[in-house]
Amino acid sequence: MKHDTSDHLSEALAQTLSPASRRAIDYLLLRWRSERTKADALPPYENVALGNLGHFADSMALVVQTSAGEYNLARVGSAFGDWGEISRDGGSFSCLRPDRAHSMRDAIRYSLQSKEPARVTTHQVAHGQFETYDLWALPLSSLWGPEVFVLVLDRRETQHDVVDTMFGATNEGMIALTAIMDADNEVVDFQFIAFNEGATRLLNRPAKELQWSRLSELSLELEESEAVANLARATKLGERINFEVSYPGGDAEVRHFKVSASPAGELLTVTLTDIADIKNRERSFRILFEGNPLPMWLVDSESLRILQVNEAAIRHYGYSAGQFLNMTALEIVPRTRRDDFRTFLNDLEKPYQGRDVWTHVRSDGTMMEVYPYVRRMDVGGSQTFVISVVDVTERRKAEARIEHMAHHDALTGLPNRVLFRTRLNEALDRAQMSQGMVVVFCLDLDHFKGVNDTLGHPVGDKLLQEVARRFTSTLRRSDFVARLGGDEFAIILNDIEQVAEASRLASRLIDVISLPFEIEGHQVVVGTSIGIAVAPHDGQEPDLLLKNADMALYRSKNDGRSTFRYFETEMDTRLQARRAMELDLRRALNAREFTLHYQPLVSLESGRICAFEALLRWNHPDRGLVPPDEFIPLAEEIGLIIDIGAWVLEQACREATHWPEDVRVAINLSPVQFRGNRIVQAVSNALAVSGIEPERVELEITESVLLHDSETNVRSLRALKELGIHIAMDDFGTGYSSLSYLQKFPFDKIKIDQYFVRTLADRPEASAIVRAVTGLGKSLQIATTAEGVETEEQLVHLQKEGCTQVQGYLFSRPLPADQLAGLLDRSFSLTDEAEALEPKRKLAG
C-alpha cells in the first residue's frame, strides 16, 4: 500500500515537470527521493529504475558490484555508450577508458559515502566542441544482494568551442568601468561598476573594497603606467586599445598585466590578463594542443609559417612534423584557393568557427572537406593563428549519398517521384514564363507482373533496369525520366512545340520497349502503355497533370495496351463515377444491400444437384441488381472485399444448413482475402456461427491466389483443407499457366472456365483442353466441373469428354435462396445423349 501511494506521488510529481524539463535525471531523482522511505536506507532498484523509463534509457547505464568488489556495467544506453566508448554489452570497469572508469568510480564512491545521489563533472571533445556533462550515480538497494547504481549522463546546455575553452581555462579579470568627467568633459577617473572574481584576485583587493570605488581611490600606484590616460583614450576614441601595466602588488610582488579595454556604450570593459599566467596557459595549451584528436596548427601570423603541429594533423594529412614545419599554412589548401585563404587570415578579427566547408589537400594530393576553426592568439609575445579542423569528408560523402538516395531509385538509378515533382514544378514555372507547354507521360509496363510471377523477382528487377536504359537512350537530352515505383515510369518533355512531337516520341518508346529483352537466358517480351497530359491545357499543377496522365494511361491499358492516349476531360467524369461507386460500396454492407444467389452444380453421375455456388449480388438503391464483375474489382482494390467476403462466407454457410446433407455450398474467394493470413480465421468463424460440417463447404479460388505470396497462401489452403473443407480451382484455363498451379496444391476440383465450354463447337483446341483437363482430373481422382453450360450439345459433348459435374443456365440460373426448394427435388438423368435433353424439358416445365 505504502509503495502505491509513493508511486502515485512520484508519478504526480513527474507529471508536474514540463515535458521539456523531464530529463532523465530530474525524473530519476524525483523517483529516488519519493522511494526513500527511511533516512539511511537506499530505495529499491525495482521501484526507481524499472518501469516507464524507456525513453530515458539512452543516457543511462546500470552498474552492479561483483563479488570481487569490482564494478560491472550490466546495461548501457547508446548515448552513455558513446560518451564512455563502451559497447552495448557493458563489461567490467577495468576494460574501460581509464578516465571514464575514474569518473564513474568517483560518482559511485561519493554516492556510497553520502547514501545520496552524487555527481561528478566530465568532459568530452566532439566535433570541435567541448562538452560538459554531469555524471550522476544513484545508489539503490537490490533484491539480489549488493547495491546497484544507476548512472545517468546529463549534458550541460553550454558547449564551448575547443579553442575558446582553452582560453577560458585561464582566469582573466573582467571589469566594467564608467568614466568620471570633469567640468570640461574630460575623463579624469573611472568607477568600478562590476567585476569578476578574477579581477579581485589579480588586483589583490576584496570585492567590498572594489565595488563602486574609483580607480584613484584604490592606490594601485598605476601612475607610471598611464593607465587612466590610456583608458580615457579608449573612451574618447570609442576603440579597443591594449596596453600593459605593472604595479607593486600589496604582497611586495610586482604584477604585470596585459590590459585590453573596449568601450561599450556608457561602460568600458576591461580585461586583465596576468602575464605571468601566460606561462601556465601555454602549458595547458600544449596539453590540449598535442592531445587533441582534431588536427591543429600554430601558424605565424606574418609569414604564415607553421610553427607547431599536433599528432592528429600529422596522421590526417600525411606530412611528417618536419615537413609541416617547413611549410606555410597556405600549402594545406588547394593552389587555387591560396590567395583567398591569405586574405581571409589577414582580415580575421574575431575567432572563426566556420560552418562553411573548406577543401584541404593531403600530402598525397587527395582532397578532404573540413570545418575550420581559426583564431588569432598571442603565444610567447608573437602573433599567431591557431587553426584546427574537423574532417567532414566522410560525413559529406554520406550526406551526398543520402541526398542521392532521397532523390533516386536504387534499382534503376533513375530519379524518383520526389525529384520528378521538383523537376515538373520547375518545368511548369519555365513554361508559364515562356508561354510554352510541358508534356507529361505516365508509363507502365504491360505484363510485367507475369514476368515477376513466372520468372521471379530478380529477372523482373533486371528487366526494369533494361527498360530504364532503353528509355534513357531513346529520349532527348532535354527530357527527364523518373521511376515512380513498381513498373511505373514518368517522363517530362520540355521544349515541345507541337503535340505531334509527343505522339512521335510515345510511338518510338512503345516500339523500343516492345522489342524482346534478353535476360539471364530468357527472352522476355513486355510492352508499355502511355498516358499523356499536356500543360497548361490539362492542368498547371504537378499533381493534377500527373493524375490526368495517369487516367489517360488507365485508358490506354483498357484500350488494349502498347498504345498511348491523351488525357480527355471525359476520363475524369468516369473517375468521378468510380468514386461515387466507391462511396456507395462502403455503405452497402451496413445497409444490407448485398444478397446471395445460388446456382446448382449437377453431378453427371447421379443426375442430382450436388452443390450450390453462392454468387454475390448488390442490390443498389438506384441501379438495381449489380453483377459482381462490376463491383468486386473495386471492392478488392479498396480492401472492402475482406468484410464483404466474410459476410458471404457466413451467410452462405448459414443458408446451406437448410439444404439436404449431401448438398454442398461452393463459395468464391478473392485473392485479397488471403492477405495478412486472415482467411483461415474468417472461414473458421463462418463454420462456427453456422454450425455447418466443414466437409460440406467448397471454396473456389482462382489461380491468382497462387501467384502472390504463394507460399503463405498455400499454407492457408492446407490449413483450410485440414479442417475438412474442399478447395476448387475456378476459371481453369484462363490464367498464365494453369497447369503448373495444379502441382502447387492438391485441389479437390477443377472448374473448367466457361470460355472453353462456349467455344467447344467451333474451336478444336477447346475440345482438346477439356479432354486434357478431364483426363487429368480422372488420374488425380478429382472432380471436374464445366461452367456455363447452356445447350444440350455442350452437355453431350462434356459428358462424352468425362466431366463429372456441370453448371449453367441449362440447369438453372443463379436464384435467390427462397427459390431453391423446387430445384432440390429434381433429378437430372443424364446417362446418355437422348436423356441429356431431359433436364431442360423438366426445368422449362
Site of interaction with Mg ion (CB under 5 A) = 668, 700, 730-731, 787
Task: Give 484 or 585: the residue with its C-beta nearer to ligand C2E.
Answer: 585
| All cell numbers assigned to 253 | 610582488
Fill in the amino acid letter for 444: D
Which partner from the list Mg ion, ligand C2E, none does 331 bind, CB cut-off 5 to 8 Å by kind? none
- The Cα–Cα gap between 467 and 481 comes to 11
Which partner from the list Mg ion, ligand C2E, none does 669 bind, CB cut-off 5 to 8 Å by kind? ligand C2E
**Closest separation in Å from C-beta 717 to ligand C2E:** 15
**Closest separation in Å from C-beta 599 to ligand C2E:** 6
CB 151 within 8 A of CB 140: no
CB 132 within 8 A of CB 154: no
Residues 6+ apart with CB under 8 A from 620: 584, 588, 593, 626
Which partner from the list ligand C2E, Mg ion, none does 790 bind, CB cut-off 5 to 8 Å by kind? ligand C2E
Rounded to whole angstroms, the maximal C-alpha distance in the chain is 141
In three-state secondary structure terms, 129 is: strand
Fill in the amino acid letter for 562: S
Which H or E run includes 120?
strand 118-126
**Closest separation in Å from C-beta 629 to ligand C2E:** 5
Task: Give 274 or 730: the residue with its C-beta nearer to Mg ion.
Answer: 730
Task: Give 161 or 700: the residue with its C-beta nearer to Mg ion.
Answer: 700
CB 799 within 8 A of CB 809: no
Which partner from the list ligand C2E, Mg ion, none does 670 bind, CB cut-off 5 to 8 Å by kind? ligand C2E
Task: Give 129 or 759: the residue with its C-beta nearer to ligand C2E.
Answer: 759
CB half-sphere exposure, 116, CA atoms < 13 A: 4
CA torsion sign for 673, 677, 678, 679 is positive
**Closest separation in Å from C-beta 609 to ligand C2E:** 14
Task: Give 333 or 596: the residue with its C-beta nearer to ligand C2E.
Answer: 596
Sheet order of strands, 564-566 included: 480-485, 488-496, 437-446, 527-535, 564-566
**Closest separation in Å from C-beta 648 to ligand C2E:** 4
CB neighbourhood size of 45 (10 A): 22
Which partner from the list ligand C2E, Mg ion, none does 602 bind, CB cut-off 5 to 8 Å by kind? none
Residues 6+ apart with CB under 8 A from 30: 10, 13, 14, 17
Pair type for strands 267-274 and 173-181: antiparallel
Which partner from the list Mg ion, ligand C2E, none does 616 bind, CB cut-off 5 to 8 Å by kind? ligand C2E
Task: Give 487 or 787: the residue with its C-beta nearer to Mg ion.
Answer: 787
**Closest separation in Å from C-beta 731 to Mg ion:** 4
Task: Give 279 or 586: the residue with its C-beta nearer to ligand C2E.
Answer: 586
- The Cα–Cα gap between 786 and 770 comes to 9
**Closest separation in Å from C-beta 641 to ligand C2E:** 6
- The Cα–Cα gap between 602 and 666 comes to 12
**Closest separation in Å from C-beta 807 to Mg ion:** 9
CA torsion sign for 175, 178, 180, 186 is positive
CB neighbourhood size of 643 (10 A): 15
Task: Give 163 or 783: the residue with its C-beta nearer to Mg ion.
Answer: 783
CB 146 within 8 A of CB 177: no
Task: Give 446 or 787: the residue with its C-beta nearer to Mg ion.
Answer: 787
**Closest separation in Å from C-beta 537 to ligand C2E:** 40
Fill in the amino acid letter for 550: D
Nearest to 176 by CA among 276, 278, 242, 272: 272
Task: Give 446 or 731: the residue with its C-beta nearer to ligand C2E.
Answer: 731
Task: Give 288 or 626: the residue with its C-beta nearer to ligand C2E.
Answer: 626
Which partner from the list ligand C2E, Mg ion, none does 615 bind, CB cut-off 5 to 8 Å by kind? ligand C2E
In three-state secondary structure terms, 284 is: helix
- What dihedral do alpha carbons 250, 253, 258, 264 form, nearest 10°? -10
- The Cα–Cα gap between 677 and 694 comes to 19
The three state secondary structure string of 555-610 is: HHHHCCCCCEEECCHHHHHHHHHHHHHHHHHHHHCCCCCEEEEEEEEEECCCCCEE
**Closest separation in Å from C-beta 715 to ligand C2E:** 20
In the chain, DSSP finds a helix count (H) and a strand count (E) of: 31, 34
Task: Give 538 or 700: the residue with its C-beta nearer to ligand C2E.
Answer: 700
Task: Give 95 or 761: the residue with its C-beta nearer to ligand C2E.
Answer: 761
| All cell numbers assigned to 165 | 575553452
Q: Which residue has the cell 438495381?
A: 624
In b/e form, how buried is each residue of 679-700, taking b as 16+ CB within 10 angstroms?
bbebbbebbeebebebebbbbb
**Closest separation in Å from C-beta 776 to ligand C2E:** 19
**Closest separation in Å from C-beta 554 to ligand C2E:** 22
Which partner from the list ligand C2E, Mg ion, none does 122 bind, CB cut-off 5 to 8 Å by kind? none
| All cell numbers assigned to 311 | 599528432
CB half-sphere exposure, 369, CA atoms < 13 A: 12
Which residue is nearest to ligand C2E, using beta carbons? 808
**Closest separation in Å from C-beta 668 to Mg ion:** 4
**Closest separation in Å from C-beta 616 to ligand C2E:** 4
Task: Give 71 or 828: the residue with its C-beta nearer to ligand C2E.
Answer: 828
Fill in the amino acid letter for 122: T
In b/e form, how buried is each residue of 61-86, taking b as 16+ CB within 10 angstroms?
bbbbbeeeeebebebbbebbbebbeb
- The Cα–Cα gap between 188 and 212 comes to 16
First to last CA, the chain: 84
Task: Give 117 or 808: the residue with its C-beta nearer to ligand C2E.
Answer: 808
Which partner from the list Mg ion, ligand C2E, none does 788 bind, CB cut-off 5 to 8 Å by kind? ligand C2E
| All cell numbers assigned to 189 | 577617473
**Closest separation in Å from C-beta 639 to ligand C2E:** 13
**Closest separation in Å from C-beta 803 to Mg ion:** 14
In three-state secondary structure terms, 305 is: strand
Task: Give 318 or 814: the residue with its C-beta nearer to ligand C2E.
Answer: 814
Task: Give 524 or 752: the residue with its C-beta nearer to ligand C2E.
Answer: 752
Which H or E run includes 482?
strand 480-485
* Residue ranges that bind ligand C2E, judged by CB under 6 A: 599, 615-616, 627-629, 632, 645, 648, 668-670, 700, 730-731, 754, 787-790, 807-809, 814
**Closest separation in Å from C-beta 817 to ligand C2E:** 14
